[in-house]
Amino acid sequence: MNLQLLTQKGALSLSAVNNIIKLLDEGATIPFIARYRKEATDGITDAQLRDFYAQYQYLQKLDVRREEIINILQERELYNNELQTVLHNAQTLTDLEDIYQPFKQKRNTRAQLAIDKGLQALADRLMKAYDSIDDFYEQAARFVKEKVTTVEEAIQGAMDIAAEYYADNPKERAFVRDQVSQFGQMQIKITRSCDKNGNFFQFDQYQSNINKIPAHRLLAIFRGVTEKELSLKIEIDHERYKENMERHKLPKNAAGVSSILLDAYYDGYKRLLYPAIEREIINDLKEKAESSAMNVFAGNLAQLLMTPAVQSQAILGVDPGFKTGAKLAVINQEGMYLDHAVIYPVAPFNKVQEANAVVTKLVNKYKIDTVAIGNGTASRELQDFFAQYNKALKVGLRYTVVSEAGASVYSASKLAEEEYPDLDVTIRGAISIAQRLQNPMATLVKIDPKSLGIGQYQHDVDQKKLAQKLHDITEAVVNNVGVNLNTASYVLLSYVSGINTRLAKEIVSYRNKYGAFTSVEELKKIKGLGDKTFEQCSGFMRIPNAKNILDNTGVHPENYSVATAVLKEISNGKFEQINIVSFAKRYNIGEETLKDIIKELKKPGFDPRNELPAVSFSANVLTIENLQVGTSVSGVVRNITDFGVFVDIGLKNDGMIHISELSQKRVNHPTEIVSLNEQLSGVKVIFVDVERQRVGLSLK
């Protein structure tokens, strides 16, 4: 493996590359390496490590494929020093396949059929191009035998062989690929089956340089092609290419037969080479567009999971509804379910007094001061109910709107049935709404991210890659925040470094049997959790009320003795008294690790989510009918895509801010301006479509 490629791409030292590979091979996880092995890895971050690992896996595939090709060539006695050099120098799978292309055994191609007729020698003569046309015809006549019936057939066969030879040439493939990549024009046409009132009709006669088409537009086009409503091709100036071929691709001092050779080469280009490169480029465009969509999805998920937790003695979750009523569920400060009820304060029942009594009873019994209202059907009406409730009873319940995307998916899931076997699915949904306000990360990991309403063309991308991407980002966030060992579900625990689902269930089972953990060290009593797993997971576990304060920090147990020494050496919490360089040498620990230990000791139990803006408890109560262009509104960002931002302003459907309306300055991506769950104020309404329930917004 060419490790120099890894050092160049990751800007890492060779020793760091070797250390990372060694750690990975020994079973260390990416979160563990990034957090606790900084000195060995040049301080590479979690995200950089994942990129490194992807490149490492790619180079492994490259080496495997290289060996496969070498073995095939050796078996066929085609391997030589020249091939050894070019194969060894190949740095991409595309390079390897280009080199191997001329040696692939082909069946039933026009060239192979001509070779089978014994026309290889005539083709070789044609490609040297030293004959006049008459001389070449004379030579071709000598090949008219049993398998070849005419001179024309012999010449056509020689041209077919030359065409395939040209199309298989690695340098030509690389050149055409580069030309298409730089100058290719994507041309779209509608098909006969295209719905003229549908979304794809807008792309009819669409044309653009392939490098200038946004990822989201590419995905829309590819969806249209898949649904057979659009046709797609990529074009370049083929005539200009033929002129270039005539000047540079024919042998020097070529004779009159060069015109036949030119036709053969151009046929190889148009019939074989260009279509192959076109397919390759289209696949590459699709892969890049999918990657962009997955990155947007992953970024949204990370922001959603990092939403600050809301501290409250008890929270009332509300799953709004009209005819079926609003389902209420109460959870305590640790997220445990306490009680539930159903109220009917809005149409068609309008039982406001009865609803007031039910809410008051729950508020008084469980000391509720916070309400989480789902943003589904009847959400606006329930917001109005709680506003009037506060006013009528002169109380100060704080309430906010919470996205309930995925709540119904969770409530009907096997996991929800395991957690709340005796409750109706609608009550489980209300519990989920309350819990996602109290601790979004712990709640949302129980739901398939594709159900959270934060994706972009998520069903059009490679589902296996998407699942891995979302798993990786969830794992990164969970380990960055840390997990409460005594309250975490097995689903949340399964994202902790080194812990799989089986071990996570064992931890919960142990906790249920023996009670709360009193120390992180107690994890070693879990069946199947050995020293290696303990090393990988222990630093990410938290026990808020542990006897040892270090068990509620990100200090790894392997460094507890150093952390204790730090605490003994300082006075009055003045950590600046520690001389990093000398202390690190004295205790044989890395300086970066020591800095991390001190950072953790300064803030035991620190939650990085608390550094982000807190959840807003102000809510708009609007109807689309009373919205007017020019009105200023506020709202919460619910989804971010390449082309714009969807904002919950208190309506049934989210309003949209197109990327062009985010700023007076040019914006490359909406994430430069806003983040998921961000509270926006001063947002202007720029259009209202009551019939289609659409609202356009602007931040300009």
Do the bridges between strand 694-698 and strand 655-658 make them parallel or antiparallel, or are there none, so unpaired?
parallel
**Same fold across 110-184+236-297 and 624-698:** no
- Residue 3 has a pLDDT of 82
Residue 16, amino acid: A
- Residue 10 has a pLDDT of 67
573 or 437: which carries more pLDDT confidence?
437
β strands within 282-388, DSSP E: 314-319, 326-332, 337-343, 370-374
CB 230 within 8 A of CB 221: yes
How far apart CA 643 and CA 665 sit, in angstroms, is: 15
Do the bridges between strand 314-319 and strand 337-343 make them parallel or antiparallel, or are there none, so unpaired?
unpaired
> What pLDDT band is residue 287 in, cutting at 50, 70 and 90?
very high
pLDDT surpasses 70 at 692: yes
Take residue 537 and report the two structure tokens written for it. Answer: 């997971």
pLDDT surpasses 80 at 652: no
pLDDT surpasses 90 at 58: yes
Q: Which of 330, 301, 327, 300 is nearest to 315 (CA)?
A: 330
At 547-578, the pLDDT tens digits run: 999 999 999 999 999 999 999 998 777 898 89
CB 578 within 8 A of CB 589: no
> What pLDDT band is residue 622 in, cutting at 50, 70 and 90?
low
At 501-533, the pLDDT tens digits run: 999 999 999 999 999 999 999 999 999 999 999
Compute the average pLDDT of residues 439-453: 95
How far apart CA 10 and CA 7 sit, in angstroms, is: 5
Residue 482, amino acid: G
Compute the average pLDDT of residues 166-174: 97
CB 460 within 8 A of CB 342: no
Domain borders along the chain are: 3-103, 110-184+236-297, 314-453, 462-553, 554-603, 624-698
At 658-669, the pLDDT tens digits run: 999 999 999 999
How far, CA to CA in Å, does 448 sit from each of 2, 295, 428, 441, 453?
Answer: 38, 17, 16, 13, 10
Q: Is 451 left (phi over 0), alpha (psi -120 to 50) or beta?
A: alpha
CB 373 within 8 A of CB 401: yes
Q: Domain spanning 3-103: which CATH class is it, in words?
A: mainly alpha
Instruction: Please report where in the chains the tokens 């379910």 appear, as a residue.
Output: 337
Do the bridges between strand 483-484 and strand 326-332 make them parallel or antiparallel, or are there none, so unpaired?
unpaired
**Where is 681: in which H helix or E strand?**
strand 679-689
How far apart CA 382 and CA 318 sit, in angstroms, is: 8
How far apart CA 72 and CA 79 sit, in angstroms, is: 9
- Residue 619 has a pLDDT of 45
pLDDT surpasses 60 at 37: yes
Q: Which of 616, 346, 310 is nearest to 442 (CA)?
A: 310
How far apart CA 596 and CA 584 sit, in angstroms, is: 12
Dihedral angle computed from the Cα positions of residues 548, 554, 557 and 561, in that order, rounded to the nearest 10 degrees? -70
Q: Domain spanning 314-453: which CATH class is it, in words?
A: alpha beta
How far apart CA 235 and CA 246 sit, in angstroms, is: 20
Compute the average pLDDT of residues 252-278: 96
pLDDT surpasses 70 at 592: yes
CB 146 within 8 A of CB 250: no
Cis previous bond, 345, omega within 30 = no
How far apart CA 580 and CA 403 sit, in angstroms, is: 46
3-state SS track over 450-517: HHCCCCCCCCCCCHHHHHHHHHHHHHHHHHHHCEECCCCCHHHHCCCCCCCHHHHHHHHHHHHHHCCC
Number of Cβ within 10 Å of residue 70's Cβ equals 16
Greatest Cα-to-Cα distance within the chain, rounded to the nearest angstrom: 108
- Residue 309 has a pLDDT of 92
At 474-499, the pLDDT tens digits run: 999 999 999 999 999 999 999 999 99
Do the bridges between strand 337-343 and strand 694-698 make them parallel or antiparallel, or are there none, so unpaired?
unpaired
Take residue 113 and report the two structure tokens written for it. Answer: 């059929």
Homologous superfamily, domain 110-184+236-297: Tex N-terminal region-like (1.10.3500.10)
At 386-429, the pLDDT tens digits run: 999 999 999 989 999 999 999 999 999 999 999 999 999 999 99
pLDDT surpasses 90 at 270: yes
Radius of gyration of the chain (CA): 33
pLDDT surpasses 80 at 8: no
> What pLDDT band is residue 649 in, cutting at 50, 70 and 90?
confident
3-state secondary structure of 453: coil
How far apart CA 157 and CA 125 sit, in angstroms, is: 12
From the candidate CATH numbers 2.40.50.140, 3.50.50.60, 3.30.1360.30, 3.20.20.140, the one assigned to the domain spanning 624-698: 2.40.50.140
The vertex-29 CA angle with 527 and 532, nearest 5°, equals 35
What's the CATH number for 462-553? 1.10.150.310
Alpha carbon 20 to its chain centroid, in Å, reads: 23
pLDDT surpasses 50 at 635: yes
The vertex-639 CA angle with 635 and 645, nearest 5°, equals 70
Instruction: Please report where in the chains the tokens 């109290």 appear, as a residue.
Output: 438
